[in-house]
Every structure is written in C-alpha cells, then in structure tokens.
Amino acid sequence: MKILFLNGPNLNLLGQREPEVYGRTTLKDIEAKVRERAAQFKADIDFRQSNVEGELVNWIQDARGKADVIVLNAAAYTHTSVALRDAISGIGIPTIEIHLSNIHAREEFRHTSLIAPVCKGQIAGFGANSYVLAVEAAIIVNGAAKS
Ligand code: DQA
C-alpha cells in the first residue's frame, strides 16, 4: 500500500513558524514519525511539500495509478483553493485532510475548508500526531475501499 503525504505552503517552516500554534517539531521530524508508523503497517510513504498551488495540483494528478490514499495538509490553500478541491474530486483517490492545529477553534476564515467535502474525513488539532493518526486513517480508508 502506498500513501502520498502532501504538504502545502509554509509547512517547510515548521519548528520555527508560530511554535505556540504549530509546535516545535520540524517537517523532517514529522516525516520520520510518519515513516516509523507506516513501517508497522508495511505501507510505503511518499512525503512532499510545496509552497506552490499548481505543483500540489500536479502531484495530486500524478498520483493516479501510484498512490492508494492521499493525506493532504493543504495549509492556507485549504481555505482558498478550488483548484485543489477539483483535483481531489477529479482523480478519485481517497484523500484525508489533516491539520496540526484545530482550524475550527481558530480565526473564522479558517473554519471553512473548501477541500473537506471531497475528502473522506478530517484530522485536526493533534499537532504532529495528526500526521501519525493519518497513517492509521489511511489504512482504514484503504481497507474500506477494497472490501
Ligand atoms: C494548518 C492550518 C491552516 O489554517 C494554516 O494556514 C496552515 C497550517 C495546520 O496544519 O494547522 O498553514 O493547515
């Protein structure tokens, strides 16, 4: 089983960026935690980050026939991107939306996710552990897709 983790803008700055909101764990450390958890399920991980919306769209499209599940932290694009939403609904790969912070407990503009309606579900508010939980969610979603 292959899980594609995609990270949107500014997540390359994790560890330094607003640590009171996002914690002190870097994206590299998060990737290591994800790989450790995935190894327990014998799942393959592809883990990427981009600040560019179109690059994220290209990666979603390219996942066809390669990834079983996509885990997406679209960061700020969560709240703005029709292009990401259309890419997710266009390719038909089950996608899980994740966030480090609880977007529903923050500013009003973060309460709306344009991608949520085309995702299987959302994990938000558990810091770096949102990513670890997403590995398990991906296994469940993949099992459900196959049974
Ligand atoms: C985020 C929440 C978004 O609102 C924000 O723009 C981010 C990070 C999170 O992981 O908590 O960049 O996706």
Ligand 1 atom nearest the C-alpha of 75 is 13
| 6-24 per-position pLDDT tens digit | 999 999 999 999 998 898 9
Q: What's the 100 CA to ligand 1 centre distance in angstroms?
A: 7
76-114: per-residue pLDDT in tens? Answer: 999 999 999 999 999 999 999 999 999 999 999 999 999
DSSP class of residue 68 equals S
Amino acid at 116: A
Pocket probe mutation, ligand 1, options 10, 21, 73, 77, max atoms within 8 Å of Cβ: 73
pTM (predicted TM-score): 0.96
Query: Which protein residue has the closest C-alpha to ligand 1 atom 1?
Result: 75
SS (H, E, C) 53-111: HHHHHHHHHHCCCCCCEEEEECHHHHHCCHHHHHHHHHHCCCEEEEECCCHHHCCHHHC
Pocket test for ligand 1, best of 13, 18, 100 (most atoms within 8 A of CB): 100
User: By the 8 A CB rule, do 116 and 97 touch?
Assistant: yes
Q: Which residue has the tokens 């958890």?
A: 37
